[in-house]
Amino acid sequence: MPLLKLSHLRVSHGRVEALSDVSLVVEAGEIVALLGANGAGKTTTLRTISGLMRPDAGDVAFEGRSLVGLSPEMIVRAGIAHVPEGRRIFSGLTARENVLLGAANRPNLSRHAREAEADEVSALFPEIASFRDTLAWKLSGGQLQMVAVARGLMAKPKLLILDEPSLGLAPLIIQRVFDIIVEIRRRGTTVLLVEQNANMALSIADRGYVLETGRIVTSGCAAALGKNEAIKAAYLGQRAA
């Protein structure tokens, strides 16, 4: 049984159909990349998985259980954490306070345990120690992305959904973020990744799907997609031979 399974998903923004018959699976322990041009439906797919949008048809199943109709809070409790595009960090709180907020779905966690888990999660990002007490509005884009991912991990997810984690970051910071994603998977968390930097995404993913105008047009192992000339021309910024 896949960890996550989308079956014939159809989703609309008002009268505009954003997803048409989208089906995909994510197996436990994988990094799966969801690729496509702007407006292809990638973010809509993620928002539907996390309960922020309701499908018109089809199903989203997690560990064999349908998530359709559940609130975002219930979906987080089921084991899915979503780090959205733009990070959505609370600017008036410190980096540490933002990380701690990630455990809000676990009300029975003691303050001591919450602090200990925040230390454990933050150890993935040694840089956080230097700005943990800094208000978020003062942080750089790379620092904000680290805080956002750490906050997502505080929910103890089985599946971490990342939407454009490299957006607006310098190349060295992008490499650092992708190294962290690999380490997150190594520690046992499955990852579904939407990323405009398709080359980077495929370099760490096991498998990938390509969305075009709301439909899955191709899928396969990441290495094969990276060598596909049509995919390279359309999505990796390279000309087909």
pLDDT digit string, tens, across residues 44-83: 999 999 999 999 999 999 999 999 999 999 999 999 999 9
- Please report where in the chains the tokens 């997150």 appear, as a residue: 184
Please check whether residues 119 and 188 belong to one and the same domain. Answer: no
Question: What is the CB neighbour count within 10 angstroms for residue 29?
Answer: 13
For residues 76-92, average pLDDT: 89
Containing structural domain, residue 111: 86-151
In eight-state DSSP terms, residue 84 is -
Number of independent structural domains in the chain: 2
| ∠ CA 45-199-36, rounded to 5° | 30
Mean of all residue pLDDT scores within the chain: 90
Task: Please check whether residues 73 and 92 belong to one and the same domain.
Answer: no
- Regarding whether 161 and 139 lie in a shared domain, the answer is no
The whole-angstrom separation of Cα 140 and Cα 84 is: 17
Write down the pTM of the prediction: 0.90
CB 207 within 8 A of CB 33: yes
> Which of 103-112, 129-138, 157-166 has the least mean pLDDT?
103-112
Let me know if 182 is exposed, middle or buried by CB neighbors in 10 A (0-12, 13-18, 19+): middle
User: SS3 letters for 98-160?
Assistant: HHHHCCCCCCCCCHHHHHHHHHHHHCCCCCHHHHCCCEHHHCCHHHHHHHHHHHHHCCCCCEE
If asked whether residues 48 and 117 sit together in one domain, one would say no
Is the same domain home to 64 and 167? yes
